Amino acid sequence: MPLLSADPAAFPAEPPADTHDPSVTAAHDWAAFSALDEMTDHWARPGWSDGSRAYYWMLTFPGDERLTALAEHCQEELTPLGLDPVPTDGLHITLVRVGAPDSVIPGQLDSLARDAEASLPSAFSIRAMPLAGSRGAVRLSLGPWEPLLRLHHALAEAGSGVGMAPKKPTSAFRPHLSLAYNNRRRPAAPVVAAVSGLRALPAVELSVPAVQLVELRREGRTYRWDVRKNVPLG
């Protein structure tokens, strides 16, 4: 397993001191978010305009009532900020970008899914913990990071084996679950203050029995996807 490394493109740029302890990763996320001076427009992403599509490995949580309830409560409390809430049927954890549809050779996804299934770690659970954020989103911290890092590494290795190596290595992976996207440049302080008031909410445990290979698309100011492969963990 590669060690996490500092990466200015990641958030937080510096990795936490301990990826096994959920309290450490949560505190690290909050320290980085609360230190922001300004938030940026999540949707101002070069090469990812409305209608763009790409294949991704993600974790999705359809029908998870506790996660849905937590998300809806936080989104309602944050309504005055004018963020773009993630639809409750669109809550996800992004893992690995696989590639654009026009760059994928026929049969390559089948090979990728088959190779990945042979090397995936065992099923696990994680906690969606206190609310925090990044430069472009309000998001839940996750913990422990360790099983997510192992899963990311296995997926990245499987991709490399079929000629679909990810651009971002596991060393730059920062697990999180976004609840709302910021849609303009603004001072961070009002968002940090609003999020701070929601950090005492109880954590939600998420079961991860499988990973989804999806065709992700941007629809206006939200993300939607079609599941191409549902691959069970070992």
Q: Per the structure block, which two tokens stand in for 234?
A: 């070992």
Residues in a beta bridge with 137: 181
Instruction: For residue 59, give the amino acid letter.
Output: L
Helix H or strand E encompassing 120: none
Taking the chain (234 residues) in runs of 10, the rounded mean pLDDT of each run is: 85 96 96 98 90 96 96 98 97 96 88 93 96 98 97 95 88 97 98 98 97 97 96 92
Report the SS3 class of residue 208: strand
Q: Per the structure block, which two tokens stand in for 90?
A: 């669109």
Domains and CATH numbers, the chain: 53-232 (3.90.1140.10)
> Using CA of residue 6, residue 10, residue 13, residue 17, what is the dihedral sign?
negative
Secondary structure (DSSP) of 131-144: EEE-SSEEEEEEE-
pTM of the predicted structure, to 2 decimals: 0.96
Q: Whole-angstrom Cα distance, residue 75 to residue 79?
A: 6
Q: Are 16 and 22 in contact (CB under 8 A)?
A: no
**pLDDT tens, position by position, 96-153:** 999 999 888 878 999 999 999 999 999 999 999 999 999 999 999 999 999 999 999 9
